[in-house]
Amino acid sequence: MLKTAWRYDHFMHLDKPLLLGLFSLSMIGLIVLYSAGGQNMDVVLGQASRMAMGFSVMFAIAQLHPHYIARWVPWIYTAGLILLVLVLVMGDISKGSQRWLNLGLFRFQPSEMMKLAVPMMVTWFLANRPLPPSPLRLIIAILIALIPMLLIAKQPDLGTALLVGSAGMFVIFFAGIPWKLIFGAGALLAGAAPVFWYLLHDYQRKRILVFLDPESEPLGAGYHIVQSKIAVGSGGFYGKGWLNGTQSHLEFLPESTTDFIFAVFNEEFGMLGVLLLLSIYVFILTRGMYIAMQAQGTFARLLSSSLVTTLFVYIFVNMGMVIGLLPVVGVPLPLISYGGTSLVTLMANFGLLMGIHTHRRLLSN
């Protein structure tokens, strides 16, 4: 009874530590972008306004009570599925794949919305009953994640498909399925790898082959990886200094403002800079996990833990790709890469986390 007298001080449902982390990341992002974008102030201002929009989305979502959100989850998920089918039927084709839906006023990417809708739906489904889930419910949960994943893979957008699928799988992991099953599934996937190989598009297969041996095609498909590694390696411990990177400025580095911006960061700020950047990410991830531990109710804790893990996957996959640990997959570096759509999804993600954390008192029964 006394506990209700204890008040947690939240300003407008925002979590200050998270906010601090996000804000420092955005600043770093804009500074790197100025250099990577060829010192074009218009690009930086454009991105700054997108960030402002992202922060407003985060703020708006943080105001919502998790119970309230839970009520809407099945509808959002169903709408997302319908939109995904529509994209395949009548979507806009850009750069050889069908990802966009033209709504007249603006173009919309339903797969982006699924990055949040899938983990929310799996959570909503599993949180109804005691955990761990029964085998039948487990299979349904897997299907909830698998169907949109396959629809997105068909666009084809393998990167997003993997992110969406894994977000659903993380929920299942946190729901506590036995380790036996996890390892069993891992072994099965490894066994089925040759089958997947035949399902991949030519360009996807090529990416993997080139990843295994980038020097085989230094001017063709391996160009990205080789040039990116040169940028990172030549940065050294202290870096070449802001605006002094030659790789991106002489246009050796492709996509230097989007997927490969981490390479520019490495070249100009070196290992020292990266360690600072990584510590901010670790701070955010840890804070996220703390929020998940504190979360009350199965829905809130499953959702928050899976969202934080997805964030980690973003960071790991992007950095891994830039430094040649992973094949080239189009995944942006959270809050640093240039671009608007994924930024908004990401900030919505943080909005959910903050909402879960700051509505906590009201959840207790």
* Interface positions with another protein (CB under 8 A): 37-42, 130-132, 170, 173-174, 176, 219, 227, 229-237, 246-247, 249-252, 266, 270-271, 274-275, 278, 281-282, 285-286, 289, 292-293, 298, 301, 305, 309, 312, 315-316, 319-320, 323-325
Residue 33 CB, shortest distance to another protein, in Å, is: 12
Region of residue 39 (left: phi > 0; alpha: psi -120 to 50; beta: else): left
Based on CB atoms, which residue is closest to another protein, 55 or 170?
170
Residue 154 CB, shortest distance to another protein, in Å, is: 25
Q: Is 103:151 a contact under the CB 8 Å cutoff?
A: no
Based on CB atoms, which residue is closest to another protein, 192 or 213?
213
Based on CB atoms, which residue is closest to another protein, 59 or 173?
173
Based on CB atoms, which residue is closest to another protein, 140 or 282?
282
Residue 88 CB, shortest distance to another protein, in Å, is: 24
Based on CB atoms, which residue is closest to another protein, 200 or 289?
289
- Largest Cα–Cα distance of the chain, in whole Å? 69
Please list, in sequence order, all residues whose beta carbon lies within 8 angstroms of the beta carbon of residue 76, skipping any fewer than 6 positions away: 113, 117, 120, 121
Residue 236 CB, shortest distance to another protein, in Å, is: 5
Q: Is 199 exposed, middle or buried (0-12, 13-18, 19+ CB in 10 A)?
A: exposed
The three-state (H, E, C) secondary structure of 218-237, written as one string: CCCCCHHHHHHHHHHHHHCC
Structure tokens at 157: 């957008």
Based on CB atoms, which residue is closest to another protein, 74 or 320?
320
Based on CB atoms, which residue is closest to another protein, 159 or 235?
235
Q: How many CB atoms lie within 10 A of CB 178?
A: 9
The DSSP output letter for 307 is H
The whole-angstrom separation of Cα 215 and Cα 209 is 11
The whole-angstrom separation of Cα 135 and Cα 152 is 26
Residue 303 CB, shortest distance to another protein, in Å, is: 12
The whole-angstrom separation of Cα 236 and Cα 218 is 22
Place of tokens 């900030």: 347
Residue 42 CB, shortest distance to another protein, in Å, is: 7
